[in-house]
Amino acid sequence: MRTMEPGSQWVAVIIEDDPDVRDLIDIVLTQSGFTTIVTENGTEGVEAVRRHNPLITTLDVNMPGMDGFAVAKRLREFSSTYLIMITALADEIDVVQGFEAGADDYLVKPFRPRELRARADSMLRRPRTRMDKPHGWAESDPEPAAPAAPAAASSWAAAAARDLAESQPLAPLQTQPVGQPATPPAPAAPAYEPPPPAPAPAPQQPVAPAAAAAPAAPAAPTARHGAVTADPGTGWMRFNGLALNHETRVVTVNNSSVDLTRTEFDLLASLMSTGRRVRSKADLVLTMRGQQYVTSYFVNEADKRSVEVHIANLRRKLGDDAATPRYVETVRGVGYRLAEGA
């Protein structure tokens, strides 16, 4: 296992048993400005994440001993590292199982090195609060061992690593530290201008007495998005007994708190902000990446299936029913939108 420099902030843990793929991921993340910790199996990977508290962790699935799905579940017990599964398993059931185990993204081998870099860059643009447990926290019983993966070298990974090494180096990722919003640059101070001379006072005119005091102006109405009511002053949005607060990231259903993941909260907030307008799965993928309404980013079928998994989990936690939706309605063949208001 490679050791990192003390105090390094941009840390990535690589959990991969194939040396060619491991070297390729190492090159991509190193050129992106990370200090990398390379591990060859799930047990070493879990210990590396616990010890180094990385921003990003890449994870293979087919590994000897503990497989990637078991590793992901173990990591989610104590770490909120951004987790990218990189595997040759491309079936829908594997993708769904990966996201349910705790992955933030799922990349199928053979992958393009710059796509890995772009996906990492996209995730880091979304601030994330860490919820790490103390170093002395006890682990649960080990997961059963998975069948060993074939030991054949990945020729595509070796070729991709050579091509990437010979090309222009990748620029360091441009993003803010985890959990801190981006700070806009301070505006430049305007040039000093002397004040204009004061005008001569105008002769006073007699003022007629007012017949009656003018009525007080009514309070500004609460903003509405279809059947959703939003109060900008408090940050709350409400719909059919569902309440969501952007500032505190709290969600309640009939005044009972609901525990949502970061992705589930972002999807729900995005759907509530657009009301009855249909949102495609590709659009919601970009919302998950923090790139709303931008269509130039790569979105594949695995990304769209991940939206389906997150929406299903969101419905289950809200007590919603896809057949008779109260909150999230499926538009078959297109995507999702907010259900009809009560």
Asked whether residue 155 falls in the same domain as residue 47, the answer is yes
pLDDT at 88: 83
Asked whether residue 157 falls in the same domain as residue 229, the answer is no
d(CA 68, CA 61): 4
Asked whether residue 280 falls in the same domain as residue 150, the answer is no
SS3 229: strand
Cα–Cα separations (whole angstroms), residue 213 to 208, 209, 216, 218, 219:
13, 10, 9, 15, 18
SS3 24: helix
SS3 286: helix
Q: Residue 237 contacts by C-beta under 8 Å, 6 or more apart in sequence? A: 225, 228, 229, 230, 231, 243, 244, 245, 246, 269, 272, 273
Peptide bond into 150 cis (omega under 30): no
Asked whether residue 22 falls in the same domain as residue 162, the answer is yes
d(CA 337, CA 329): 5
Residue 103 token pair: 């992955």
- In this predicted structure, the answer to whether residue 139 has a pLDDT above a threshold of 50 is no
Assigned domain for 114 exists: yes
Q: Quote the pTM value.
A: 0.44
Asked whether residue 127 falls in the same domain as residue 238, the answer is no
Written as one letter, the residue type at 255 is: N
Q: Say how many domains are in the chain.
A: 2
Find where tokens 């909150």 sit: 327
Q: How many CA atoms lie within 13 A of 161 on its CB side?
A: 16
Assigned domain for 198 exists: no
Asked whether residue 53 falls in the same domain as residue 121, the answer is yes
- In this predicted structure, the answer to whether residue 31 has a pLDDT above a threshold of 60 is yes
pLDDT at 192: 46
Asked whether residue 161 falls in the same domain as residue 277, the answer is no
Residue 326 token pair: 């109260």
DSSP state of 111: -
Query: For residue 110, what pLDDT band results from cuts at 50, 70 and 90?
Result: confident
Closest by CA position to 126, among listed 302, 270, 245: 270
SS3 329: strand
- What tens digit of pLDDT does each residue of 184-215 get? 444 444 444 555 555 555 555 555 544 444 44
Q: Distance between the two ends of the chain, CA-based, in angstroms?
A: 57
Helix (H) or strand (E) holding 34: none
CATH code assigned at 41: 3.40.50.2300
Closest by CA position to 227, among listed 307, 326, 341, 116: 341
Neighbours of 193 (CB within 10 A): 6
Asked whether residue 153 falls in the same domain as residue 286, the answer is no
Assigned domain for 186 exists: no
Asked whether residue 17 falls in the same domain as residue 155, the answer is yes
Asked whether residue 37 falls in the same domain as residue 162, the answer is yes
CATH code assigned at 259: 1.10.10.10
Asked whether residue 320 falls in the same domain as residue 231, the answer is yes
52-58 average pLDDT score: 93
- In this predicted structure, the answer to whether residue 96 has a pLDDT above a threshold of 80 is yes
Q: In 206-300, where does DSSP find H-type helix?
A: 262-274, 281-288
Assigned domain for 215 exists: no
Assigned domain for 109 exists: yes
Q: Residues 192, 56: contact at Cβ < 8 Å?
A: no
Neighbours of 308 (CB within 10 A): 18
Assigned domain for 210 exists: no
- Residue 274 lies in domain: 223-338
Closest by CA position to 306, among listed 159, 47, 106, 167: 106
Assigned domain for 193 exists: no
Tell me which range, 178-187, 227-236, 266-275, is most confidently predicted by mean pLDDT. Answer: 266-275
Asked whether residue 24 falls in the same domain as residue 160, the answer is yes
d(CA 252, CA 285): 24
Assigned domain for 61 exists: yes
